[in-house]
């Protein structure tokens, strides 16, 4: 055998008398619908589907849903606008515009942070790339849009809110409780080393300043943020 199956019709199939009358065929279709309806009413717990939106699936704690931007204790965003998530995004759906933060401890912050949810493939690469643990994903999958503009989530819609977390819960994130990993510390909580302009003023006042330890090499020198600063 050649393995080729001829599926072409030999000729137009003639309709039976019942099919020509249509009514018996309609009743046959209705009987199937009524049979399924009665079976579902009697054994509603055995339904293969759920009664959405009254019932919702309890997805995994690593479900990749809507993104959220994490905040510090003072309410500011943890994001430092380093563009790492934007560069790692395979769908190129993240847009970031950096600005100088009013607090010197935070250096930069995102003036614009937009995610186009229609282009997003929910891969979680942005979460993995973030060095500040600033972007997580939730288990929120209820996203519907009437226009493309509505699908672009900005900071006000991405900022973490207790109400959203209480309703949907956290999803994919790089650090999970009990997995032995520790999220990166917030550098803003460490002592701020004065810049060159402030150093000149402090030297005039004879204030001791921490200097970088040269160490065995420039790449191995400890960070100034790790050294204690005493005024």
Give residue 81's domain range: 67-168
How many structural domains is the chain composed of? 2
Edge-to-edge, what's the strand order for the sheet holding 108-116?
94-100, 108-116, 152-153
Tell me the average pLDDT of the chain.
81
Chain centroid to CA 50? 25
157 belongs to a structural domain: yes
Residue 56 within any structural domain of the chain: no
Question: Is 116 found in the same domain as 26?
Answer: no
Residues 42 and 113 in one domain: no
More confident residue, 186 or 27: 27
> What tens digit of pLDDT does each residue of 183-225 get?
776 655 555 555 555 556 666 777 665 554 444 444 444 444 4
Give the count of alpha carbons within 13 A of 208, CB side only. Answer: 5
Distance CA 131, CA 174 (A): 10
- Tell whether 39 and 100 lie within a shared domain: no
Q: Check whether residue 110 and residue 154 sit in a common domain.
A: yes
What's the pLDDT at 212?
44
Mark which of 138, 168, 198 sits at the end of a domain.
Answer: 168
Same domain, 103 and 150: yes
- Residue 18: pLDDT band (50, 70, 90) is confident
């Amino acid at each position: 055998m050649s393995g080729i199956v001829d599926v072409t019709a030999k000729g137009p199939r003639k309709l039976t008398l019942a099919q020509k009358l249509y009514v018996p065929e309609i009743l046959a279709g209705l009987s199937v619908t009524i049979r399924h309806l009665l079976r579902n009413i009697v054994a509603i717990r055995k339904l293969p589907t759920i009664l959405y939106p009254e019932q919702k699936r309890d997805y995994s704690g690593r479900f990749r849903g809507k993104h959220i931007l994490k905040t510090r204790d003072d309410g500011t965003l943890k994001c430092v606008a380093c563009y790492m998530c934007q560069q790692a995004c395979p769908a190129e759906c993240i847009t970031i515009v950096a600005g100088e933060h009013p607090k010197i401890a935070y250096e930069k912050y995102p003036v614009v942070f937009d995610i186009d949810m229609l282009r997003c493939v929910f891969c979680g690469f942005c979460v993995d790339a973030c060095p500040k643990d600033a972007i997580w994903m939730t288990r929120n999958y209820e996203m519907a849009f009437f226009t493309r503009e509505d699908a672009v989530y900005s900071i006000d819609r991405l900022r973490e809110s207790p109400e959203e977390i209480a309703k949907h819960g956290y999803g994919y994130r790089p650090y999970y409780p009990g997995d032995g990993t520790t999220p990166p510390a917030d550098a803003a909580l460490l002592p701020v080393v004065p810049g060159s302009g402030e150093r000149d003023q402090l030297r005039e006042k004879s204030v001791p300043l921490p200097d970088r330890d040269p160490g065995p090499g420039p790449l191995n020198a400890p960070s100034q943020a790790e050294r204690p600063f005493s005024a």
